[in-house]
Amino acid sequence: MKSIAKERHSIYEIQKSKFITTLFRIDSLEDVKQYLKEVKEEYPDATHHCYAYILDGKERCSDDGEPSGTAGIPILNVLKQQNLDHILCVVTRYFGGIKLGASGLVRAYSKSVSEALENCLIVALDPGYEMTITFPYSVIKNVDFLLKNYEIQSKDFQKDVTYQFSISKKEYPILLEKLGHYIKANTILNDIWVQKK
């Protein structure tokens, strides 16, 4: 399975219409809803917010007011041609006053997505977990040493310390054994796909 390493934005212009493509790596339908909301808030005056996503092989797309089949399906087709999964693509259009016609819209949406993907780092994905661990301040140096090769996505310093990071299912039992006597029992795991190392 392949996806993009990180979020990507690009702009494609034709006949005075502007197509802003935003690509997101997703792990859930909640991610889809959240990212769509963010894009609509960022470009509130846009004419259309067309999108497509693939999540665990399930697909969905939307023309968002464009003529049927001229936006969502072309976006989805480009994602499928690249064999991508866990990906959301939103193409925001500002209408420039010149109609492109159905075939022109298909070409414009397809090209905007293809151009955005050209400069994306595509990565292989492994099944994994989003892991949250809690431990006392007294062992923070030990935990930091064991997690030195992991990207800690969030750190919270309250009564105890809480870290959140991603780990592959293959690495999980090995790391858990090493961390075992440092962390408290309330380790939280959520199934996700993580970048293959």
Each residue's pLDDT tens digit, 133-150: 999 999 999 999 999 988
Same domain as 32, residue 76:
yes
Predicted confidence (pLDDT) at residue 106 exceeds the cutoff of 80 = yes
For 32-80, the pLDDT digits (tens) are 999 999 999 999 999 999 999 999 989 999 999 999 999 999 999 999 9
Predicted confidence (pLDDT) at residue 185 exceeds the cutoff of 70 = no
Last residue of a domain, one of 97, 120, 143: 120
How large is the average pLDDT for residues 9-29? 94
Percent of the chain residues topping a pLDDT of 90? 73
Query: Environment class of residue 173 by beta-carbon count within 10 Å: exposed (0-12), middle (13-18) or buried (19+)?
Result: exposed
Domain boundaries, position 10: 2-120
Quick one: pLDDT band at residue 183, thresholds 50, 70, 90? confident
pTM (predicted TM-score): 0.77
The total number of structural domains that make up the chain: 2
CATH code of 133's domain: 3.30.70.120
